[in-house]
Structure 1
Amino acid sequence: MASGIYRLLSFVSANRERYQNRAMGAKTSSNHPQDTYEPSILLIVAGGTICMQDSEDGLVTSTLFLDECLSAKPVFNDGTPCPTYRVIDEHGVEREAPSLRLPRDRNGANVRCTVLEFNPLLDSSTAHSPTWNQLARTVRSNEANFDAFVICHGTDTLAYTSAALSYMLMPNLDKTVVLTGAQRSMFFADSDGSDNLLGSIVLASHLRIPEVCVYFGHKLLRGTRITKISASSYSGFESPNAGPLATVSETGIVVHWDNLQHPEPNHATNTSSQPKHSKALAEMNSASVVVIKIYPGLTPSLLTTILTTPSIRGAVLETLGAGNIPLDLIPALQSAVNRGVIIVNVTQCLHGSVSSAYEPARKLVEAGIQLGYDMTTEAAFTKLVYILAAQDKSSSPAEDLRGMVSKNLRGELTPPDLAIEGNGGPLSIAQLPIRYERTMNGGSGPGMGHLSLDFGVRQHL
């Protein structure tokens, strides 16, 4: 299949002739029209492989990313003068940031991309809660001044950061936030970075999906649903238990309506009835949560040692299959729960969900361990960090916040069907529920399955 970048270029048509004339000092017929529709993007370059260069010590983040990978490429810069814009950076300081204007698309729109580079740029293996806090504050501080946000981030911890930002910024997020990265640096000719970055900018600037997403390998995925499945493949991420929000191919760009999060029916018609949420951000601390993978031979004493560490307030338990564990480990877990540690049970498997069908999993529920259903480890981990941060700022009883673990907050899990939850085991074909889905192409409205969009007008989904 041809690279999706060629399809995107039909929307962002690179006017190379005009760019080359400007680069050579030639005069052009007119300046950029001031009345042209010009969606504004804040491109936050946090770091990662996408902006790394070779060095004696291996690949390291480079401060030449803007000059050599963005400004110098016609697909990201049409060559017309573009003023700097004032932004609030990751340190809370107001400063001028350079801007680029993408080539005009087929409907006459240019995307203005203001570039904010972190200082210092990060290797994503070091990214944890301080990075999440910085990114969330940067988006919130600039939210009123840009139409959407794109974040360049390393792939190693991209799934953690996207999930963390989902919990922190939603449900009071009004703009599209897209994270992306690369398996190969944009300083190299065979990089997937240009494809991923262009796709992120095009989708973020022309769609209004008010949540945190990840664009990678021609798919727009929910930020709380992704996991990294390959250290080298250009399709390095998967959303195991949820479909993509949008896909790009040589035949077009399709938004999957059924996979989007939609407001309640009464909210759609009466905005005054929508609940009001504070714009304040909870300060996250990832050092308070641990991930424990159940493996053959794990001893109760080792488990107790981990869970009695004074700083540990939450734990993600990666269990076997549908939520199983050796029974001799359960007393250590129950003791931790009695001390106030919040523990959530998720499966080690890439696909599927934990349940209380088997005896060990049921005894975990009886011991106070929360079911994580089909959450990824990354979503469960950051959810616990978020809940603990909310607990520190809330006057709600601890039990109320503990109950949030098994609830769907940001599209991170598939709630169990209450009608079949009590069957207590794998279902036979005679017991399976029947569901109908519409997958018509084209049209508009809440009943469609797939929505093909014309990108000339910003869509509000």
Structure 2
Amino acid sequence: MAVFQNDVTRSIQMNVRKSKLHSTSESTILVVYTGGTIGMVKSESGYIPESNIFQNSLRSNIRFHDAEEHHRRLSHPGYSKDFFITPLSFYNKRIIYKILQMVPLLDSSCMSVRNWIQIAEVIEENYKLYDGFVILHGTDTMPYTASILSFILEDLGKPVIITGSQIPFSEIRNDAVDNLLGAITIAGHFAIPEVGLYFNNRLYRGNRTCKYDNSSFEPFKSPNMRCLIKAGINFKVNWNLIRMPHKGGKFRVHKDLDSNISVVSFSPIMTEESLLASINPHTKAIIIQTYGAGNIPDNRPELLDALKRANERGIVIVNITQCKKGGVSDSYHCGQILGRAGVISGRDMTFEAALCKLSYLLGKYPGEPEKVKSEVSKDLRGEMTIDPEEIDFSLTMKEIIKTIGNVLGIYTQQDRDDVTEEILPIIINTAAAQDNIRELTQIRHEGISLELCDYEGKTPLHVACSTGKKEIVSFLVRQEVNINSIDSQGRTPLMEAINHGHFEIARELIKFGGIISCPNEQLAPMLCYAGMRGDLNKVKILYKSGVNINVIDYDKKTVGHLAAANNHLDVIRYLKNKTDYKFDAKDNNGMTPAEIAEYKGFLEISNCIKNTDQ
């Protein structure tokens, strides 16, 4: 059991159960103070954590505590002098909260597995007493704590929000006041059953965050996912992103974590010896941080062999990118060979999420590496993005309408309109994905736009193009929708059609003026990968759509370099006879496509490039 000052006694617990603190006009929050900058004060040796710093400060601040209401309630059964109570909020609601303090208070750089379990146990012990929880924490390891809590708090049904500050609460100018007040307000008003990280007016999914700046009021980013809530004059909640607990699931805390995890970050100076040094007899899992979209050098077989041997020993190996934004994929040969070696794709997980997820799974399934491999590739707590092609669109109109009916127990017409605005794109895009022209026709007759976009900026045309629904595409084009709308990743419907191999749809879009607007860094991998695979149809359609055929990837390779290196003569002939491709282009090694072909012994390709008659 965790050690905390002012811990809740059994008598107070019984009184809280009997009181009416859980009414709709009030909510109860437990604030757990673990340490960190938010509670520090100046000393001769610099800033240090201070005990009980919030007690007097908050009681004298009207935004955090209504002293008059507090004194009036002291005679009420179940209300304790240790409680704080906020004034009535914009939503005509009060929040009653209590502060528990960890002993000793910690700088977050001192956080350990034991401390994570202590925090989780406090939530477990008080889970039925409070409507939500706020964890005050230092910023250095905040994303780690947010990630691990998201996994070990299984079937969580209440908000757990972690926050802190860059400047202590005790300083006149600080970010602590807004962060603490915002976290308490959100936890007390919104039923968001997730572990979130709140900072600088934004609530992020905790396991999607990373710290990227130690000198601003916005130290955290969620590089691969939008925030759950943005606080302004009102709180804008992206309800479509919120994950609901499993139906019938019972909250529990998983306390067995495994720390036998190694981390390997690839670099040009890596040696086989340095890789092997990370694979000791106790190692159960390895996180490899690879280049770009998940690549390792394919001219270093000794490194791949070392990973293969580790996999054969039952070590779980997860591949994540060194980049802050984006994830790993198998677009390049280098990435594909890792999959064949038994390496699991970490998709777009942050390093913090990958580490904590492995620790959780290894502890939950000891001695079962195959089970861990299976589970680590799944999206367990919203920590990774699953490719749309792997998702079955199962929502029906009837189910969505039922969901709307359940949600419309909220209070104002504006709230109802906001929820409808969020759900309508789901209805329309689901109809497009399910090839349901009848539903789309009905929606159009009801005067609803067929250009509404979801949280990723995707319209029904984007969805139809990515899922290969030709009839839906033709229907939408006839409705004169914008065929060049751009989603949040900068992709047009034409880009979606080509990327997913639906070339007949792509040709129709081109005929009606469809374009590609993606930057070269997105187009280069697609074009080069088509050259490597010998996918002549994709090369042709990309060229016809206006893509620069000479675009280069990260190591200055072009479609011609990849086609020549993989002996795809038909692609080379097309480039030579039908395009303005420049065969004198040199990659990072100073080699042209012809020189690569000669080096690999593909003389027919080399001769084709050099012979002006072919």
Tell whether the 8 Å contact from 2:156 to 2:251 is kept in structure 1 after alignment: no
The aligned counterpart of 2:179 is 196
Q: Which residue is equivalent to 2:262?
A: 290
Question: What is the root-mean-square deviation of aligned Cα atoms in Å?
Answer: 2.9
Change (3 A) 1:113 1:372: same
Q: Could you tell me which amino acid in structure 2 is paired with residue 297 of structure 1?
A: I
Larger fraction in strand: 1
Which of 130, 147, 150 aligns to 1:166? It is 150
- Give the TM-score taking structure 1 as reference length: 0.76
Whether the 8 Å contact between 1:319 and 1:348 is mirrored in structure 2 is: yes
1:320 aligns with 2:302: no
The answer for the alignment partner of 2:136 in structure 1 is 152
Describe how 1:58-457 pairs up with structure 2 within 5 A: 58-79=46-67, 80-81=70-71, 98-170=82-154, 172-249=155-232, 251-262=233-244, 274=247, 276-277=249-250, 279-285=252-258, 287-308=259-280, 310-326=281-297, 327=300, 328-392=302-366, 397-418=368-389, 442-444=417-419, 447=423
After TM superposition, the runs of 4+ consecutive aligned structure 1 residues lying more than 6 A away are 33-36
Which amino acid in structure 1 is aligned with residue 275 of structure 2?
L
Displacement, 1:159? 0.4
Distance across 1 between alignment mates of 2:192 and 2:251:
20
Determine the C-alpha separation between the residues in 2 that align with 1:325 and 1:345: 10
User: Per-residue displacement from partner, 1:128-147 (whole Å, max 9, x unpaired)?
Assistant: 21121111111111100001
Contact 2:34 2:106 in 1 (8 A): yes
Alpha-carbon distance in 2 for matches of 1:398, 1:322: 25
| Larger fraction in helix | 2
Show the counterpart of 1:55: 43
Which letter maps to 2:343? I
Partner AA of 1:126 in structure 2: C
- Report Cα offsets for 1:19-47 as digits up to 9, x if no partner: xxxxxxxxxxxxxx998932100000111
Q: Work out the number of aligned pairs and report it.
A: 376
* Cα shift at 1:369: 0.9
C-alpha distance after superposition, 1:434-459 (max 9, x if no partner): xxxxxx993435715799xxxxxxxx
CA distance in 1, matches of 2:419, 2:22: 31
Q: Does 1:40 align with 2:40?
A: no
SS of residue in 2 equivalent to 1:54: strand
Give the conservation status (yes or no) of the 8 Å contact 1:175–1:210: yes
2:497 paired residue number: none
Q: Which amino acid aligns with 2:186?
A: L
Task: Please report how far the alpha carbon of residue 64 of structure 1 lies from its aligned counterpart in structure 2 after TM superposition.
Answer: 3.6
Given that 2:315 and 2:369 are in contact with CA atoms closer than 8 Å, whether structure 1 keeps it comes out as no
Pairwise CA distance, 1:177: 0.7
Distance 1:55 1:360 in 2: 53
- Cα distance in 2 between the residues matched to 1:34 and 1:43: 16
What is the Cα deviation at residue 275 of structure 1?
5.1
Select the structure of larger CA radius of gyration.
2
Identity of aligned residues (%): 35
Deviation of 1:356 after TM superposition, in Å, equals 1.3
Measure the CA separation in 1 of the matches of 2:314 and 2:45.
Answer: 45
| Pair 84,57 (structure 1): closer, same or farther in 2 beyond 3 Å | farther
SS in 1 for 2:252: coil
Specify whether residues 260 and 298 from structure 1 end up closer, same or farther in structure 2 by C-alpha distance, changes over 3 A only. same
- Contact kept? 2:183, 2:198, Cα under 8 Å: yes
Structure 1 residues 312, 177: CA separation in 2 closer, same or farther (over 3 Å shift)? Answer: same
Q: Distance in 1 between matches of 2:257 and 2:206?
A: 17
Distance 2:424 2:51 in 1: 45
**Any stretches of 5+ residues in structure 2 without a counterpart?**
1-20, 392-414, 426-453, 456-614
Contact 1:42/1:149 (8 A) holds in 2: yes
User: Which letter does structure 2 place at the counterpart of 1:72?
Assistant: S
* Shift in alpha-carbon separation, 1:448–1:154, aligned structure 2, 3 A: farther
Deviations 1:261-306 (A, max 9, x none): 257xxx8xxxxxx354562423223x31222221220111011011
**Aligned-residue offset at 1:253:** 1.4
Following TM superposition, by how much is the alpha carbon of 1:378 offset from its aligned partner in structure 2, in angstroms?
0.4
Kept in 2: contact 1:151–1:180 (CA 8 A): yes
Distance 1:116 1:245, change over 3 A: same
2-side partners of 1:51 and 1:259: how far apart?
32
Higher RCO (Cα < 8 Å, 6 or more apart): 1
The answer for unaligned runs of 5 or more in structure 1 is 1-32, 88-95, 268-273, 421-439, 452-461
Q: Secondary structure at the match of 2:134?
A: strand
Give secondary structure in 2 for the equivalent of 1:42. Answer: strand
- How far the C-alpha of 1:231 sits from its partner, in A, is 0.5
